Structure 1
C-alpha cells in the first residue's frame, strides 16, 4: 500500500511539473511582462489582417479575370450576332434623311416620261417651232409700234416724279400738293397703257403684256421713291440725326472706303433716278449695296441662260402647249367633264415646266444679269419657296422684290394705322389679285376675273393648309396648287379668248 501511494504521488508530481513547464513555455522569456506578450499577440493578429489585405488584390484580380472572361464571351457573342435594335429607314423615327438616290430616280423618271410625251407630240403634229412667227408678234405693223412708243413715253412719268420730289425738298410744294401730284402721276401710269392697248388694234397681246408689265413695275418703283423721300423729310424735320444717318447717309467710318454715299436731298438727281429705275428692285434706297466689280464670266453665263431659256420657252410653247390647248377647245365647248379633266392633266406638265423655266430665266438669270451689270449688291431675288409647307410661306419667298415692297409700303403702314394682321394680309392679297387680273385681262382685251378669283382663293387655301396640313403634307399641297391651279386659269382664259375671237370673226 505504501509503495503504491508513493508511486501515485510521484506520478502526480510529474504531471504538475509537466503542466508548469508547459505554462512556462507560454510565458514571455527573458523576464518580459504580460503586456509585451499581449502586444506580441496583437502583432500576430495584425499580421493576420495584413495577410488578409494581401489576399484582397488576389481576389480582385480573380474578379477582374472573370469579368474579362465574361467580356470576351460577350464580344464573341456580338461578333456572332447579326441583329440589333433599329428602325426602318423609311420610318420617321429612324432619323434618316438622305434620299438623294430617290431624287435622282424621280428626275430620271420625269425625263423619260416627258421624252415619251415629246416624241408622241412630234409623231402626231410634226415640227411646229417657227421663230419667224414669234418675231412677227413683236414686229407687226413695223411702221407703227404703239407698244414701243408707250415704253418711251414712260420716261415722262419718271421725270414728273423726280421734279415733284425736288420741289418738295425745296419747300416749293406742300406735302399735300406733292401727294396729289404723285397720285395723279401714278394713276395715269396705270390707265394710259390700258387705254392704248384696249383702243389701238395694232397692239398685239404680247406687246400689250410687255407694256402693261413695264408700267406696273414703274408705278411700284415711283411709289417707293415717294415714300422714302417723304420719310427722309420727316426725319430731317424732327432732327433725328442718328435715324437720318441710318436711312439716308452712313456714319463717317463708312465714308472712308468704298463708293461715295449721298444724303437727302443730294439723292434727287437724274443719275440716281435712272439707276433706281434700272435696278432689279422695287424698293428705293438712297444708298444701295454695291458689289466690288463686274464679273465678266458671271455676266456672260447669265446672258447665255437668258437667250437659251427664251428660245426654249418659245419652242416648247409652240410645240407642246398650243396643240394641247387647241385640242381642249372642243371638250370645253361641249362641257365634257371627263375629257376636260384629261386635257387639264395633259396641260399641267408642260405648263409647269414652262413656269419653272420662266422662274429660273427671269428671277435668276435676267435679274442677276442686270444686278451684275449695275453692281447691285442685294441678289436675294427669291428664297427656298420649293420647301414651302404653307401657302403663305410660298407667296412670301418666291418673289422677294414684290414681297419686300408689299411688306414695306403696304402691310406695315396698314398695321401702323391700327388694322389687324388678318385684315392687312387680306388687303395685300386683294392688291396682288388686282394686279394679276390687270396684267392678264388688259393684253387679252377681256375681263373674266379668273386671275383675280384665283388669287383671292389663296386666302381660304392658306387657312386650310396652315390648319390641317403640316410638314410634308403641307409642301405637297403647295405643289399641287401650283401644278393644277395654273393650267385651270390658262384653260379658262384661252377658252374665253378663243370664243371671243370666233364671235368677232363671225360678226
Structure 2
C-alpha cells in the first residue's frame, strides 16, 4: 500500500509531463500546418495571377498582331509617297550609265553610217605615200629636220652663258642681253627659213616651228630658275658666315643625290630637261624608281595605232568635206556654208580628241617613262569644265604651269591687275597659235589669233550667265564649232592663194 501510494504521484507527474509535451507537439504541428497551408494558398494564388497575366499578355499580343495585320493591309492599299522625278534637278539620282551607253551607241551608229556613205561615194582614199609628201618635197632634202638639228647651237649657247654667269665672268645685265638675243634668234630664225625656203612643206614647217617654240619656252624657264638660284646664293653669302654651296655634278653619285646650283650646269642636266615632258625647269625633278616595260609598250602601241588612225581618218573623212566646201565659200552661200561647217564639225572634233589622247597621254607618258620623269599630270578633268577659264587651265598643264610661273605671277608682282595679267596670257597664247599656223602656210589672216582673243569675252559671258551643265555645254559647243570654222577659213584662204599663184 505504501508502495502504491508512492508510485502514484510519480506516474501522475509523468502523465502530466507527457500530456504537456503532446499538447505542445500538437500545437506546434498545428502551427506548422497553418503556415504550410498559408504558403500553399499563396503559391496557388500566385499561379492563378500568373495565369491571369499570361492570358492578358496573350490577349494584348493577339490584339497587337491583329492591329499590325490591319496596318499591313493599309500599307498594301497605299502605294504613294512624296518623292521627286528622277530627271528633275531636285532629285538626288545620279546614275545615268544607261543613258551614257545609249549616247555612245548612237554616236557609233551615226558615224558608221557617215563612214559607209563616205566609202560608197569616194572609195578608199588612204595613201601612205601622200603622207610622206606632206613632210618632204624632195627625198634628198630635209630642211625641217636640218632646222631641228641646228637648234642644238642655241641650247649650248644658253648653257655657256649660264656657266659664265655662275663664275661671275658676266654681269647680270650682260647675261640678260645675251639670253634675250639667243631667245630672239630662236623665235625668228626658223620663221625666216620657212618663209624663204620653198622646199619646206607646211607640215614640215609646223614641226620645225613647234620644236623651236618648245625650246624657246624651256630655255626661258632655264634662264629664270638659274637667276633665282644666284639670287638665293647671294642672300646666303650675305647672311651666313660661310656659303653652303653644293659640289659639282661630277662628284655626285646615285640617282637620289640632290643637285644644287651651280652643280646643275652640265650638258647632261640641260639635255635631260630639253627632252623631259615639261616646260618648267627644276634642279631636281621627281623621278620614278624604274622603267615599267609593260607600261612603256602599251603607250608605244597607242602612239603607233593612233598615228595611223589619225592619218587615215584625215585622208578619208576630212579632206573630201574640205574640198567640197570650197565652192560654197567662194559663192558666199551662207546656208551651204553652215551645212559644210556642221558636216566638218564631227570629224574635226573626233580627230582633235584622238590627238589629245595621242599627245598628252600616250606620247608624253612614253617619254616620261623612258626618262623616269615622275610628274605625270599632263592634263586634268577639262571635260568637266563649267567655265572657259577652267578649260584653258586644265587641258594643257605643262603650258599652264609655264604661263603661271614665268608670265602671270611676274606680271602680278610688277603691280598689274589680275584682269590685265590674264589678258596678257591669252595674248601670248594667241600670238603663238598664229605663229604656228600662218608662218608654215606663208599667209597671215589672223584667224587663230582672233579665235584665241575671242576666248576672253566668251569666258566672261559663260562665267557670268551660265552655271553647271549649261556652262559645260557652252564650253563643248565652243570647241566643236570654233575649231572647224577656223580650219575652213584657213583652208579656203590657202586654196585661193595657191590658185592665184598658179594663175599668175
The reply to whether TM is greater than 0.5 is yes
Q: 2:387·2:475 contact (CA, 8 Å) conserved in 1? A: yes
| Match in the other structure for 1:168 | 165
- Indicate the SS of the match to 1:452: helix
Q: How does 1:98-117 map to 2 (within 5 A)?
A: 98-117=95-114
| Residues 1:275 and 2:308 aligned together | no
| Residues 1:309 and 2:327 aligned together | no
Number of aligned residue pairs: 445
Q: How far 1:498 sits from its partner (Å)? A: 0.2
Q: Deviations over 1:21-76 (max 9, x none)?
A: xxxxxxxxxxxxxxxxxxxxxxxxxxxxxxxxxx9999999888766654443234
Q: How does 1:69-80 map to 2 (within 5 A)?
A: 69-80=66-77
| Match in the other structure for 1:26 | none
Match for residue 373 of structure 1 among 365, 370, 377: 370
- Indicate the SS of the match to 1:238: helix
- Indicate the SS of the match to 2:79: coil
| Match in the other structure for 1:27 | none
Matched residues in 1 for 2:59 and 2:463: separation?
66
Matched residues in 2 for 1:347 and 1:484: separation?
9
Q: How far 1:83 sits from its partner (Å)? A: 2.2
| Residues 1:357 and 2:371 aligned together | no
Structure 2: runs of 5 or more not aligned: 1-51, 240-244, 247-251
| Residues 1:402 and 2:390 aligned together | no
CA shift in 2, pair 1:270/1:257, >3 Å: closer
Matched residues in 1 for 2:58 and 2:214: separation?
86
Match for residue 466 of structure 2 among 465, 469, 477: 469
- Indicate the SS of the match to 1:262: coil
Matched residues in 1 for 2:278 and 2:144: separation?
23
Match for residue 429 of structure 2 among 404, 429, 432: 432
| Match in the other structure for 2:234 | 237
Root-mean-square deviation (CA, aligned residues, Å) is 2.4
| Match in the other structure for 2:256 | 259
In the TM superposition, structure 1's runs of 4+ consecutive aligned residues that sit over 6 Å from their partners are 55-65
Q: How far 1:93 sits from its partner (Å)? A: 1.4
Match for residue 134 of structure 1 among 131, 135, 138: 131
Q: How far 1:131 sits from its partner (Å)? A: 0.3
Q: How far 1:82 sits from its partner (Å)? A: 2.5
| Match in the other structure for 1:52 | none
Matched residues in 1 for 2:60 and 2:465: separation?
61
CA shift in 2, pair 1:85/1:141, >3 Å: same
Q: How does 1:44-55 map to 2 (within 5 A)?
A: none
| Match in the other structure for 1:222 | 219
| Match in the other structure for 1:295 | 292
Q: How far 1:85 sits from its partner (Å)? A: 1.9
| Residues 1:480 and 2:477 aligned together | yes
TM, length-normalised to structure 2 = 0.84
Matched residues in 1 for 2:452 and 2:420: separation?
16
| Match in the other structure for 2:450 | 453
Matched residues in 2 for 1:64 and 1:290: separation?
73
Matched residues in 2 for 1:256 and 1:330: separation?
66
Matched residues in 1 for 2:263 and 2:272: separation?
14
| Match in the other structure for 1:90 | 87
Q: Deviations over 1:273-327 (max 9, x none)?
A: 0100000000000000000100111111111111111111111111110110011
Q: 2:205·2:440 contact (CA, 8 Å) conserved in 1? A: yes
CA shift in 2, pair 1:214/1:75, >3 Å: same
